[in-house]
Amino acid sequence: MTVPLIRKGAWLGYLWCLARILLPTPSGRQRVNVLGALHAITHQVITVTHDTTINSESVVTLLKKLAAQFTDLPITLVLDNARYQRNATVMAEAERLAITWLWLPTYSPNLNLIERLGTLVKADCLHGRYYPKFGPFKQAISDCLAATSGRHQAQLNTRLTRKLPVFKPAA
């Protein structure tokens, strides 16, 4: 998962009022990029965080963290089709670490469980919040991700189900 969390403007949770309300927003475009892996059963989250862009070195770092964490289990990563994941360096490292790939169809973020974690992080850290400095913004995201096994466990148990909604075909 890559969730670019940008301090570009305010994320409004909701807004309805008779009087105009001005919200302070930060200037500039500092971002926190989180590349993460989510255990589908235990909901354990392993992340690599950067202030710069995510690239093949970031993915290799995540693969090494996963291999170190789960030494006794086979690892299968479910991935979307990001270019930095299909790099020859990344593929070679995954083969060396005995990590297998399961590629999702393109344009299907609803199948990727970690995207649901990304919406939880955005709702907890960004909606209706203003951070005057980049440091507290980054710390809020780190704290939210660290609380996945504590404060956010109940929300994750309901959001991260493996059941997909089934829609009836339109007539």
Dist. CA 103–CA 116, nearest whole Å = 17
Backbone angles phi, psi at 50, to 5 degrees: -135, 150
Domain parsing of the chain, residue ranges:
27-156
Residue 1 pLDDT: 45
Residue 166 pLDDT: 66
Dist. CA 116–CA 109, nearest whole Å = 9
Euclidean distance between the first and the last CA atom of the chain, given in angstroms as a whole number: 35
Residue 152 pLDDT: 73
Instruction: Spell out the CATH class of 27-156.
Output: alpha beta
Which residue shows structure tokens 């005057």?
132
Residue 66 pLDDT: 93
Residue 11 pLDDT: 55
Q: At what angle do helices 113-125 and 134-146 cross, to 10 degrees?
A: 130
Residue 171 pLDDT: 65
Residue 153 pLDDT: 74
Residue 104 pLDDT: 87
Judged by phi (left if over 0) then psi (alpha if -120 to 50, else beta), residue 137 lies in: alpha
Q: State which residues of the chain have pLDDT below 50.
A: 1-3, 6-8
* Model pTM score: 0.76
Residue 20 pLDDT: 67
